[in-house]
């Protein structure tokens, strides 16, 4: 029980404290003074999380470099960060990962942005501002060992649907190299939405390029084009990709991707039109492994079930269906480590999840995407490679929204959608980047992958599970 005396003592203490504070002139500030200010509180958040895209010449439609620009959009900034639309990052932070280069604001940063907008976006004292962040055109990992640029600029029309174009660039390498990192310089970030890099050793991409007028050749839905018989062309191997805001990473020590002698490097560029004609010639920088390479990074895929070994995955999304479930699974055949995952769906995709179910029954969510966005396709690289013992099942569960309520639905009214390469078809793929524990390359240089699949079997190559074949099968 609280006695009157002790209450009095507490009040007394409180009064004394208030008096002391008043005399020192602190703690009695008005609401406006307490509010965050642009220079002290907001600019550091924008520098760290937003400006890399929100500066001139980058993908974002406006800059967030100075007070005027930020004040004008204070309410929008509060809204898009509160809804976690910005900065763009689609993997859940509650489950899966953790991933490298994660772009997620802390709760308290979101609150500061909201409080600032609510207080009328006060500027504060420029003396509180951190030094401006600058952007340079240098390579973040230092000068690459090999820089390859699209030879002739491609001209993109002013308006219309997105375009995909593949450029084949001869590497000129007379011996195979292990690639431990790549970086990209999109020639024109206003229109380059993302880039995927791969390599070809069959000369197919050169032929497709020669058959198409203009630099490079057209491809649809993000693929690498079609063979004369209509089947998709699948390059021999992958070399990572670029999306706005991507930072280059070195692959984990002792791991690398192969680039065989004589390979052509392919850049598959997804263009988003800007309203006026634009030109682009993008560049890739390749970094050779700095130390000995023991394990090759390989690609694996998780797909929905197929009616036959060489058939296309079974996928039929009924019109009007707002939550059509698609499942798939694959089994890891040798002890492996998973370095990264790349979920892939088209416009009707809603959510996506990959779970590892180990032979001991333990389950681990690898990635969960709750709000799929076709425009932000990214490779998610784990901070620490995930062990997948032999017999682990990788389970995929995704949902598709083929209702008229889906703003991204390309068909009005909705129609039945099946598996296919066009953006208006659908796909549901979990690409995996893996290494095999038993592999010991002892730094042997890479050789050209065996050509196990012919043009006729091209479509079947997607089905190949990692383990027995050279790196391939990723679209």
Where along the sequence are the contacts to ligand HEC (CB under 6 A)? 49-50, 52-54, 59-61, 73, 76-77, 80-81, 86-88, 103, 105, 244-245
Nearer to ligand HEC, 112 or 385 (CB): 112
| DSSP H/E element including 5 | helix 4-24
Task: Tell me the closest approach of the beta carbon of residue 274 to ligand HEC, in angstroms.
Answer: 12
In the complex, the smallest distance separating the C-beta of residue 28 from ligand HEC, rounded to whole angstroms, is 32
Nearer to ligand HEC, 89 or 224 (CB): 89
Pick the closest to residue 286 from 140, 138, 181 (CA basis): 181
Nearer residue to ligand HEC within complex by CB, 39 or 337: 39
Q: How far is the CB of 81 from ligand HEC (least distance, A)?
A: 5
Comparing C-alpha atoms, which of 162, 174, 199 is closest to residue 286?
Answer: 199
Instruction: Select 60 or 338, whichever has its Cβ closest to ligand HEC.
Output: 60
Question: How would you classify the pairing of strands 255-259 and 295-296?
Answer: parallel
Instruction: Choose between 80 and 387: whose C-beta lies nearer to ligand HEC.
Output: 80
Distance separating alpha carbons of residues 401 and 19, to the nearest angstrom? 63
Compare residues 162 and 335 and give the one whose CB is closer to ligand HEC. 162
> Smallest distance, Å, CB 62 to ligand HEC?
7
Minimal distance in Å, beta carbon 243 to ligand HEC?
A: 7
CA neighbours closer than 13 Å in the CB half-sphere of residue 376: 19
- What is the DSSP code string of 260-312? -TTPEEEEEEEE---SS-EEE--EEEEEE-SS---EE-EEEEE----SSTTSP
Side-chain half-sphere exposure of 58, counting CA atoms within 13 A = 19
Minimum CB–partner distance for residue 156 and ligand HEC (Å): 17
Contact of 258 with 237, CB cutoff 8 Å:
yes
The residue among 386, 396, 467, 383 whose CA lies nearest residue 431 is: 396
- Residue 164: other Cβ atoms inside 10 A: 23
Question: What is the C-alpha separation between 102 and 98, in angstroms, rounded?
Answer: 8
Q: How far is the CB of 189 from ligand HEC (least distance, A)?
A: 10
Using DSSP bridges, classify how beta strands 298-302 and 237-242 pair: parallel, antiparallel or unpaired: unpaired
C-beta closer to ligand HEC: residue 191 or 330: 191
Q: Which SS3 state, helix, strand or coil, does residue 192 take?
A: strand
The residue (of 133 and 226) whose beta carbon lies closer to ligand HEC is 133
Q: How far is the CB of 267 from ligand HEC (least distance, A)?
A: 20
């Amino acid at each position: 029980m609280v006695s009157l005396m002790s209450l009095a003592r507490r009040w007394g203490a409180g009064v004394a404290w208030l008096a002391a504070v008043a005399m020192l002139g602190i703690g009695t500030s008005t609401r406006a003074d307490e509010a965050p200010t642009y220079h002290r509180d907001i600019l550091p958040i924008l520098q760290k999380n937003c400006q890399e895209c929100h500066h001139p010449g980058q993908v974002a439609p406006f800059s967030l470099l100075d007070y005027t620009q930020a004040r004008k959009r204070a309410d929008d900034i509060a809204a898009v960060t509160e809804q976690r639309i910005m900065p763009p990052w689609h993997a859940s932070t509650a489950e899966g990962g953790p991933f490298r280069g994660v772009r997620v604001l802390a709760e308290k940063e979101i609150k500061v942005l909201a409080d600032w907008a609510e207080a009328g976006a006060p500027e504060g004292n420029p003396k509180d501002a951190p030094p401006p962040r600058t952007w340079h055109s240098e390579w973040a990992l230092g000068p690459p060992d090999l820089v390859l640029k699209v030879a002739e600029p491609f001209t993109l029309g002013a308006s219309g649907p997105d375009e995909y174009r593949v450029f084949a660039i001869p590497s000129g390498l007379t011996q195979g190299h292990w690639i431990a990192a790549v970086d990209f310089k999109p020639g024109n970030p206003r229109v380059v939405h993302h880039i995927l890099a791969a390599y070809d050793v069959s000369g197919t991409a050169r032929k497709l390029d020669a058959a198409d007028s203009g630099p490079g050749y057209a491809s649809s839905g993000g693929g690498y084009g079609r063979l004369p018989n209509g089947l998709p062309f699948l390059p021999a191997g992958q070399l990572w990709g670029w999306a706005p805001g991507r930072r280059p990473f070195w692959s984990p020590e002792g791991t690398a991707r192969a680039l065989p002698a004589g390979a052509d490097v392919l850049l598959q560029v997804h263009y988003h039109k800007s309203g006026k004609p634009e030109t682009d010639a993008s560049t890739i920088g390749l970094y050779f492994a700095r130390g000995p390479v023991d394990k090759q990074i390989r690609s694996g895929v998780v797909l929905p079930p197929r009616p036959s070994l060489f058939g296309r995955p079974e996928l039929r999304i009924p019109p009007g269906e707002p939550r059509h479930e698609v499942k798939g699974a694959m089994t890891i055949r040798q002890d492996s480590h998973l370095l990264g995952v790349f979920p892939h769906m088209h416009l009707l995709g809603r959510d996506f999840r990959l779970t590892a179910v180990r032979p001991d029954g333990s389950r681990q969510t690898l990635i969960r995407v709750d709000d799929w966005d076709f425009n932000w396709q990214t490779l998610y690289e784990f901070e620490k490679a995930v062990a997948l013992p032999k017999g682990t099942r990788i389970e995929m569960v995704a949902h598709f929204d083929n209702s008229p309520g889906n703003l991204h639905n390309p068909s009005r009214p909705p129609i039945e959608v099946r598996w296919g390469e066009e953006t208006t078809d659908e796909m549901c793929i979990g690409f995996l980047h893996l290494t095999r524990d038993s592999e010991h390359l002892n730094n042997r240089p890479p050789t050209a992958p065996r050509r196990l699949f012919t043009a006729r079997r091209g479509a079947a190559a997607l089905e190949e599970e990692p383990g027995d074949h050279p790196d391939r099968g990723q679209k």
